[in-house]
Chain A
Amino acid sequence: MRLLTHNMLSSNMKGVSNGFPLRIEVEKVVEKQVDFNPDFLKNMFSKVHWKALADASRIMGYAELPEEADRSMLDSDDFLRKFHHALLELHLEEGALVCPETGRRFPVNKGIPNMLLHEDEV
């Protein structure tokens, strides 16, 4: 699972009012090369929750992203490369996502988070 997906996912358990961002428990991280596309990044920038992305990338062992970012930084190629790497190339292979309110763990196996809820959580 890439951080792009982590940035979009939230816990939708019954009774959880703010299930975002899911906390990451890391067991194994892999990196996969992806083609660099600045247009996509610029388009996604407004949709990405920056703080969640920066925190998540730090947990995954990549500390290059600044704490805060704004539109003007998109002109810098260096920044875009870092953004690209954090968003698309870092994969959480094994580990878990944890709901920030209830502490419910969603295990991640082979890069696939198991978001299935039990009957009493729907």
Chain B
Amino acid sequence: MSSRPEHAAPPEVFYDDTEARKYTSSSRIIEIQGKLTKRALELLALPDDGIPKLLLDIGCGSGLSGEKLSKKGHQWIGLDISQSMLNVALEREVEGDLLLGDMGQGLGLRDGVIDGAISISAVQWLCNADKSSHDPRLRLKAFFGSLYRSLSRGARAVFQVYPENVDQRVLILNYAMRAGFSGGVVVDFPHSSKRRKEYLVLTCGPPSVNTSIPKGKSEEDGESCSDEESSGDEENQTVCVSDRHRPRKKQKTMRGKGREWVLKKKEQLRRKGNVVPPDTKYTARKRKARF
């Protein structure tokens, strides 16, 4: 992660004809994209009833991830801001429909019609202001707001993201929660700097039994990884859950420091050689309210 494309240029400029061609002819990128899409589909947890769904691919690019969706039989609509990437998608004759659009301007879809949304390595672009008129906060708000409206109840959205730092992750998650989503971040391989992948798993509507956050992947399952020592299962998985319906922190009922604390302090002072009254049954006792 030494060079981030977000820092180079806005997406519609960065992914020009040459970059789009490069992106789609690299077998390594194709493989990675395929894996990420597969995992995202897994996290999307669509009901296994064999009925094709209408999915949304946000930042579909040249349709690498869309091909995986088509393979599973789903219909999809892809949105991307780069005309060059979409041209490559046309050449590859992807099966989904393509839209040239900016996710930061809102999606412009009818309410409650989409069965699920995925996005591979795209949402972090929203955190950058590429024009003077861009405000990342407003763009995130527009994006998540319109996405929430267009998804059907209980539908999920899975975004694989590369946040630059903790602040970006918090920002993205924050705006997702404000839009009404519940869910959290699933981190695969949190201890590996190369294989670490973050997925935002969001569910439309308030949390219920079937909105539980899936577990992150660790080194142990899947293919073996040589350069990583694999410690216990628990340590390799990070799942944090947050939503706006979370119960408030319980108010502390204990007031004052308590007898134990007083005894400890008295002991400390005694060791210093101060004159300290002896410990009795009256030490740090409760007073009546009128005191």
Contact = CB atoms under 8 A, between A and B. Distances in A.
A70 to B, nearest CB: 19
A8 B98 contact: no
A1 B77 CA distance: 9
Contacts of A4: 54, 75, 77, 97
Given A10-B108, A39-B52, A119 B101 contact: no
B107 interface: yes
A100 interface: no
A49 B110 contact: yes
B105 A9 contact: no
A10 B106 CA distance: 11
Given A4-B54, A8-B109, A115 B90 contact: no
Interface string A24-37: 00000000001001
Contacts of B131: 119
Given A4-B75, A37-B52, A39-B51, A114 B100 contact: yes
A5 B99 contact: yes
B114 interface: yes
B97 A2 contact: yes
A9 B108 contact: yes
B218 interface: no
Contact of B105 (A10, A111, A114, A117): A117
Interface in A85-122: 88, 110-117, 119, 122
Interface string B23-66: 00000000000000000000000000011111000000000000
Contact of A111 (B53, B90, B102, B110): B90
B81 interface: yes
Contacts of B182: none
A100 B131 CA distance: 29
B4 to A, nearest CB: 24
Contacts of A19: 108
Interface string B70-90: 000101010001010011001
Contacts of A49: 110
A17 interface: no
A47 B54 contact: yes
Given A4-B75, A5-B99, A113-B99, A122 B52 contact: no
B97 A1 contact: yes
A111 B91 CA distance: 12
Interface in B220-255: none
Interface in A53-100: 88
B77 A5 contact: yes
A5 B83 CA distance: 18
B110 A8 contact: yes
A4 B152 CA distance: 16
Contacts of B101: 114-116
Contacts of A2: 97
Nearest to B131: A119
B152 to A, nearest CB: 8
A24 to B, nearest CB: 14
Contacts of B263: none
Most buried by A among B77, B83, B97, B98: B97
B99 A12 contact: no
A31 to B, nearest CB: 15
20 contacts: A2-B97, A5-B97, A8-B77, A9-B110, A10-B110, A12-B106, A12-B146, A20-B110, A39-B51, A39-B52, A40-B75, A43-B52, A47-B54, A110-B90, A112-B98, A112-B99, A113-B100, A115-B99, A119-B131, A122-B142
Given A44-B54, A119-B131, 18 more contacts: A4-B54, A4-B75, A4-B77, A4-B97, A5-B99, A7-B110, A8-B54, A8-B77, A9-B99, A10-B108, A12-B106, A12-B108, A19-B108, A34-B95, A37-B73, A39-B51, A110-B87, A112-B99
